A = this chain, B = another copy of it.
Amino acid sequence: MESLYPEQVRTTTLSDVAREAGVSLATASRAINGSTNRTVGPALRERVLAAAARLHYSPDANAQAMARGRTTSLGLIVHDIADPYFSAIAAGVTRAAEAAGLSVVLTSTEHDPAREVSFVELLRRQRVRAIVVTGGRRDDPEGTAALRAALEGFQAAGGSVALVSQPLEGMSTVVVDNREGAADLARHLHGIGYRRFAVVAGPVDHLTSRDRLSGFREALDELGAPLADGAVVHSGFTRDGGYEGMAELLRRDAGPEVVFAVNDVMAVGAMAAARDAGVSVPDDVAVAGFDDISTLRDITPALTTVRVPLVEAGVLATELALGPGEPREVHLAGEVVVRESTPAR
């Protein structure tokens, strides 16, 4: 037999509470959320609260948002929430948003840049107060222009925006010092004796990958130990990309002493490729990454990397978005963390 429950569930409203308490709608409203004005007499307040409890009243946030003219939520756009890089940032965003009394609407592009634009529009319809956009972009003028247009539309409608990673002019951004971090890493590796370097990079048009690569390369140039031809291989910005990149590198007869994978997840893939090829890390080849993903801190050999305070980046971006004033750009320096995957040579 089919369920005969009425689909229509009448939620109790503030009017119900007011009637139950024998007061006006306005009084009920004021008693329950303490309006900006004066208080409600203690006696009535009690009556109202009691009535609300009795009726299991739950204020309708949507109605409140309409009446007040502003919602209580914030949008977050990531590429893949299952990626530890993004989930760390998300942790920071949820924390900061909650501190500001906002709830966060999570959207995940699944690596399709075009979806960023539609998510911005979705979040704008939702009338979120702010949008935090995370993740590196490609060097794609059209795509970037579309995203910027969507974001500007959102701002024009009164919303605020903050980005993590790649800046977009006129919008607050938490910028990770990718070039400088990679350069520091290069200097450190050179300092402990490495001379023949190679890089497993992401796609050529991936801005974050590009910054890390060029910072690394320029530092090596200055040190007089430039990257050899064929010492850079481009691949996916993922674990599998790292794996394939390293495999390719090992196939070439370059024989680098140390490989810099432009992020930790790729570095882990690279190490797996070395292992599968019978090449020992760090005895035969040293490996370094970038990000210092906490979930990966216990891999062996422990990975030398550049620490990026991702949770903090999420917090900062949220605060930037919510804060007053002109768009700001906050820089987050990376810190080289030396571990066993790159022993002194």
Please determine whether A105 and B105 come into contact, CB atoms closer than 8 angstroms.
yes
Please determine whether A94 and B106 come into contact, CB atoms closer than 8 angstroms.
yes
Q: A9-B158, A82-B88 are in contact. List 9 more A-B contacts (CB 8 A).
A: A56-B153, A60-B125, A60-B127, A62-B127, A76-B106, A82-B84, A94-B107, A272-B298, A300-B300
- In this complex, the interface size class of chain A, counting residues with CB under 8 Å from chain B, is 35 or more
Distance A65 CA – B90 CA, assembled complex (angstroms): 27
Q: Which residues of B contact A9 (CB under 8 A)?
A: 156-158
A:269-286 near B, CB below 8 Å: 269, 271-272, 275
What are some 6 contacts across the A-B interface (CB < 8 A)?
A9-B156, A58-B121, A66-B66, A81-B87, A86-B87, A295-B295
Known A-B contacts A62-B62, A153-B56; the reply to A87 vs B94 at CB < 8 A is no
Asked if A166 lies at the interface with its beta carbon under 8 angstroms from chain B, I say: no
Asked if A311 lies at the interface with its beta carbon under 8 angstroms from chain B, I say: yes
Q: Mark A61-77, 1 if CB is under 8 A from B, else 0.
A: 11101100001010010
Asked if A126 lies at the interface with its beta carbon under 8 angstroms from chain B, I say: yes
Please determine whether A63 and B60 come into contact, CB atoms closer than 8 angstroms.
no
Please determine whether A66 and B62 come into contact, CB atoms closer than 8 angstroms.
yes
Distance A73 CA – B104 CA, assembled complex (angstroms): 12
Asked if A268 lies at the interface with its beta carbon under 8 angstroms from chain B, I say: yes
Known A-B contacts A11-B158, A66-B62, A107-B94; the reply to A300 vs B275 at CB < 8 A is yes
Q: Which residues of B contact A325 (CB under 8 A)?
A: 3
Distance A127 CA – B71 CA, assembled complex (angstroms): 13
Q: Mark A198-234, 1 if CB is under 8 A from B, else 0.
A: 0000000000000000000000000000000000000
A:63-122 near B, CB below 8 Å: 63, 65-66, 71, 73, 76, 80-84, 86-88, 90-91, 94-95, 98, 103-108, 110, 121-122
Q: Which residues of B contact A110 (CB under 8 A)?
A: 95
Distance A105 CA – B108 CA, assembled complex (angstroms): 12
Asked if A59 lies at the interface with its beta carbon under 8 angstroms from chain B, I say: yes
Shortest Cβ-Cβ A-B pairs, 10 listed: A9-B158, A87-B87, A82-B91, A106-B106, A61-B125, A272-B298, A268-B298, A94-B108, A62-B62, A61-B126
Select from chain B the residue with minimum beta-carbon distance to A294: B82
CB distance from A91 to the nearest CB of B (A): 4
Select from chain B the residue with minimum beta-carbon distance to A107: B103
* Interface residue from B104, B125, B293, B298 paired with A59 (Cβ < 8 Å): B125
CB distance from A109 to the nearest CB of B (A): 10
